[in-house]
Amino acid sequence: MAKKKKRTVVGSPLTPGLLRELGAIREFAFASEDFKPGGNWVNTYRIWTCHGYRESGNYNVGFVRIERAAGKSKEEFMLIVQQQVVQVDGILNVIDAQMICLNDQLASPIEWHLSSRFANPDGRAVSELGTEETVLIKGNVMSVKAGGRSFKRKVAGRPSCDWCLFEAVQRLRFDKKSSLAFDILEGLSLLKEGQHLSYRGVYPMKIGGKEARLHRFDQIGEGVLPYEYWLDDKHRLLAAISMHKAYILDERAEKIIRQRTEQVRKSYERIRSARRKKN
């Protein structure tokens, strides 16, 4: 009988230093001189997960690409988001969102179009699982058009959104005294109340042999494990870590996930073939 490989428990919460130790990153993609948080940019984050062991079970499961289009208006801007998550046996979920956000501290979304699509292990789209919705927030009312129907839901104040916070933290001042209280619509749909976002300080660290200074914001609230947002001096968000999930800024993220999807699907095909032979 094959001996079980010994695994070492990580033991401590994930940090940028630990991400490097565990092989999740080689180095961070620090911002160039001309990076402007309030301008036009695209940040793509690889979604890496840790199952709590050093030796195994840690891998990339998806990416989220966030594009900011400033436009002419000073009051509003646009965020275009795509998130892909590849699951066991190669089922892929793709979320696309185009949203108009207020240029406020939390990038509050006020109007958006959201779609969710699935592809099965052989790569074909599963039309009966797709959803689309258009949403407009006016005052305390959220008007939703989905599946040929219209709904009205109440919202209190102006909720932010988890993807919007990736944009918003880049525009916030590094100020320990400020703390923001708000609600979020996670994935532009699930209301999670009582969120707080605070600047924690600057953390000098050595990454890839280089000295670096990373700034940290923490988000704590209902229905989420605390998020830690790590930014460089230019206010570019390099990583967001929530418990065992890390969003890591990485321009190769989409390619990596395409490769992983292929791998997972091939592995599933092998399982199916083996089963067919057995039967």
Closest by Cα among 105, 102, 163 to 137: 102
Is 120 one of the binding residues for other proteins (CB under 8 A)?
A: yes
The sign of the dihedral angle between the CA atoms of 126, 127, 131, 134 is: positive
Angle at CA 99, nearest 5°, toward 140 and 97?
120
Is 47 one of the binding residues for other proteins (CB under 8 A)?
A: yes
Is 203 one of the binding residues for other proteins (CB under 8 A)?
A: no
Using CB under 8 A as the binding rule, the residues of this chain from 182 to 201 that contact other proteins are: 186-187, 189-194, 196, 198
Judging by beta carbons within 10 Å of its beta carbon (0-12, 13-18, 19+), is residue 50 exposed, middle or buried? Answer: buried
Q: Which is nearer to other proteins, 89 or 111 (CB)?
A: 89
Is 246 one of the binding residues for other proteins (CB under 8 A)?
A: no
Residue carrying structure tokens 């605390």:
226
User: What type of residue sits at position 38?
Assistant: G
Stretch that binds other proteins, among 36-44, 100-108, 165-173, 238-246 (CB under 8 A): 238-246
What is the distance between the alpha carbons of residues 234 and 212, in angstroms, rounded to a whole number? 12
Is residue 191 within 8 A of residue 3, CB to CB? The reply is: no
Stretch that binds other proteins, among 38-46, 69-77, 85-93, 206-214 (CB under 8 A): 85-93
Is 119 one of the binding residues for other proteins (CB under 8 A)?
A: no
Q: Which is nearer to other proteins, 77 or 112 (CB)?
A: 112
**Residue selected from 82, 218, 258, 267 as contacting other proteins according to rule CB under 8 A:** 218
Using CB under 8 A as the binding rule, the residues of this chain from 90 to 109 that contact other proteins are: 90-91, 93, 95
Binding mask 139-178 for other proteins (x = CB under 8 A): -------xx-x-x---------------------------
Site for other proteins, rule CB under 8 A: 9-14, 47, 49-53, 57, 61-62, 85, 87-91, 93, 95, 116, 118, 120-121, 126-131, 146-147, 149, 151, 186-187, 189-194, 196, 198, 218, 220, 222-226, 242-245, 268, 272, 275
